[in-house]
Structure 1
Amino acid sequence: MTSPGNDSADEADRLALVVVNFASSSLLAANLVDPGLRSVIGFVVVVDNPSTVDESRRVQELCAAHEWVLVELPRNEGFGAGVNAGVARARELACTRVLALNPDATIDPDSVRTLLAASRADPRALVAPRIVRPDGGGWFSGAVLDPRTGTTRRASGIELEGDSTWQTGACFLVTIAMWDEVGGFDDDYFMYWEDIDLSWRWHEAGGRLVLLEDATAVHDPGGTQFGAGKSPLYVYFNCRNRLLFARKRFASRFGRRWWPASVRYAWSVATRGSRRMLAKHPLLVWSAFRGTLAGAFGSLTPRRAPARR
């Protein structure tokens, strides 16, 4: 397969768009077909975390029809592992940068060019656009983690200064060289909080987080969620991974300080969207309880380096 034309990069500076799919082939069909994107992106790499036979067949058909590069994983290994696999494939295709994008998000070619220019100016930066909802309202523009309590708040400013800031994994652009230096996503998180962990290690490696207000991605968070609220898996992994992060990154320094707030955090996660969801889906409370216990007392496994996947 030959690389499409790229009006913003030569052959020595090739960009791959990496999208992780799980039961979202309809979103791929709707969000990745913009012909303008192919003028600034060398390859579209779709990583399929398998769900059903029909879904896998549909993803295969889409990739064949649009000349996307398909990476089929043997099982659903989670979001972070999926991105790691996509970056590994981009490396094999001689790409030097990757743009990670959620399947329920879109980005226009001009915003990609803006991200590319910022990455070229600072190859060690994790560069991200401002992310908005379909109605134009803000969805994410950077956030700050309080390491003493495990709480987060929104950040402001074009450059996210300070080692407690973090970027969402929904859309970002990085060089593969810096990605390899940091170690990519930690597969242990499966989904949620892996972007906070990545941002933290990005700071530790001496990189910067840069938010570009004049670049925009549109994210429809309802596209992969549980009806009008949140799924049991969303609740479980948010509660689990908050405490997993504390144990991995802080150990005895701050980690146990997060425990007293865990019940309040679990309740806030389970009731996001509407408290009426609990009446319809009482499993959310059980998921919050299980996730909190798993995060506090589950085993810690060694983090795998994506370069050796």
Structure 2
Amino acid sequence: MHGTKIIILNWNGEGHLARFLPGVVAAAPEGVGVVVADNGSTDGSLALLARDFPQVQVVRLDRNYGFAEGYNRALAHVEAEYFVLLNSDVETPAGWLEPLIETLERNPDVAAAAPKLLSVAEPGRFEYAGASGGFIDYLGYPFCRGRILRNIECDRGQYDDGRDVFWASGAAFCCRASVLRELGGFDAGFFAHMEEIDLCWRMQLRGYRIRVVPRSRVYHLGGGTLAAGSASKVYYNHRNNLAMLFKCAPPLQRAVVAVVRPPLDLCAALSYLAQGRGDLFRAVGRAWRDFIRMHPSLARERRSVRGGRVAEVRGIYRGSVVLRYLLGRRRFDKMM
């Protein structure tokens, strides 16, 4: 595995590094380097790394570029055949990495592979950010094997089969460096949230597959940068989801989204207002405003992404996950 590097993007995560980095270093197979890319932290992260982790390579960025551009800039300083992008709040048991690299080595058309993602707080339960592989529905709403909207299942081995999925979680994302660079990396305009789904969609349009490999499992704390329910998280999720659909979706799907999503997002905004969360109501409005402002640049990106011949993309659920959820289908096996 001499061609593999684990890269952790850190921003003011001194506590996470102190808690989780020792396990990452201990579980790294021989020959696999560990890199921490620091996104302009102002806490004690860099001092901690210098004092306690001299074996870890540090890439210093001059400011916080967010997840997308932060990784793009950091990876320009890292040479490897395989990149393993790992959140700073992920616990990695021994043997977690080998099945992912093995999957890439045996399948040249697989661009990215992900482990099963479980909760640090409840190890018998899937973790929201990726569970056992991600999908989206026709309107662009992401869901996972093991997580439908906010309903998170217990792990009983029901999704332990390795299979192709639509997206792999950015919390633990193992990919071919050559493909990542071929596609220009993450969309820097996203800053944070949805960038890995957008990248996986673009990978598939180029003819590559995305796999989940449940033989590999890691444990994710989650919410380390933007807490659930924060206005920033709502803003980026809405804006970036719309931008991704505009860039990547085929014409019919894009037309359906243009008709159906505005009233659905308005309902979501009004529900926030009814809960007394005016900040979230305004976040949805700002997301739509900025998405509309992005149209000229997104149109150029769309021509690049979908121009010419594109491969057939599998894994888009031909229905509404929200509707199925409201009808009581709140587990992946019932949904599909």
Structure-1-length-normalised TM-score: 0.79
Q: Which residue of 1 aligns with 2:162?
A: 158
1:9-24 matches, within 5 Å, as 9=1, 13-24=2-13
1:163-242 matches, within 5 Å, as 165-226=166-227, 229-242=228-241
Length, aligned pairs only: 276
* Deviation at residue 269 of structure 1 after TM alignment: 8.4
Unaligned runs of 5+ in 1: 1-8, 304-309
The 4+ residue runs of structure 1 with deviation greater than 6 A are none
Q: Which residue of 2 aligns with 1:121?
A: 106
Q: CA-to-partner distance for each residue in 1:265-307, whole Å, 9 max, x for gaps?
A: 4665897xxx79953x53121112111221234345466xxxx
Distance 1:264 1:168 in 2: 25
Q: Which residue of 2 aligns with 1:102?
A: 87
Q: In structure 2, what residue type is equivalent to 1:110?
A: G
* Deviation at residue 143 of structure 1 after TM alignment: 2.1
What's the % identity of the aligned pairs? 24
Q: Which residue of 2 aligns with 1:44?
A: 34
Q: Which residue of 2 aligns with 1:307?
A: none
Q: Which residue of 2 aligns with 1:244?
A: 243
Q: In structure 1, what residue type is equivalent to 2:291?
A: G
Q: Is the 1:79–1:191 Cα contact (8 Å) retained in structure 2?
A: yes
Q: Which residue of 2 aligns with 1:132?
A: 118
Q: Is the 1:115–1:212 Cα contact (8 Å) retained in structure 2?
A: yes
1:50-89 matches, within 5 Å, as 50-52=40-42, 55=43, 58-65=44-51, 66-67=53-54, 68-89=56-77
**Structure-2 change in CA distance of 1:141 and 1:290 (3 Å):** same
Would you say 1:143 and 2:134 are equivalent positions? yes
Distance 2:88 2:199 in 1: 20
Q: CA-to-partner distance for each residue in 1:15-73, whole Å, 9 max, x for gaps?
A: 21111112212101211112423444532221222253xx2xx2222332312222222
Distance 1:266 1:195 in 2: 26
**Structure-2 change in CA distance of 1:250 and 1:210 (3 Å):** closer
Q: Is the 1:231–1:284 Cα contact (8 Å) retained in structure 2?
A: yes
Q: Is the 1:160–1:210 Cα contact (8 Å) retained in structure 2?
A: yes
Q: Is the 1:270–1:284 Cα contact (8 Å) retained in structure 2?
A: no
Unaligned runs of 5+ in 2: 146-158, 302-336
Q: CA-to-partner distance for each residue in 1:93-140, whole Å, 9 max, x for gaps?
A: xx2211111112122230112212222212442111000112120122
Q: Which residue of 2 aligns with 1:4?
A: none
* Deviation at residue 190 of structure 1 after TM alignment: 0.8
Q: 1:285 aligns with which of 255, 263, 281?
A: 281
Q: Is the 2:5–2:82 Cα contact (8 Å) retained in structure 1?
A: yes
Distance 2:194 2:223 in 1: 19
Q: Which moved more, 1:258-267 or 1:133-142?
A: 258-267
**Structure-2 change in CA distance of 1:284 and 1:41 (3 Å):** farther
Q: Which residue of 2 aligns with 1:294?
A: 290
Q: Which moved more, 1:235-244 or 1:248-257?
A: 248-257
Q: 2:97 aligns with which of 112, 118, 121?
A: 112
Distance 2:274 2:69 in 1: 30
Distance 1:218 1:269 in 2: 32
Distance 2:30 2:173 in 1: 15
Distance 2:186 2:266 in 1: 24
SS at match of 1:254: helix
Q: Is the 2:28–2:97 Cα contact (8 Å) retained in structure 1?
A: no
SS at match of 2:282: helix
Q: Is the 2:265–2:284 Cα contact (8 Å) retained in structure 1?
A: no
Structure-2-length-normalised TM-score: 0.73
Q: In structure 1, what residue type is equivalent to 2:74?
A: G
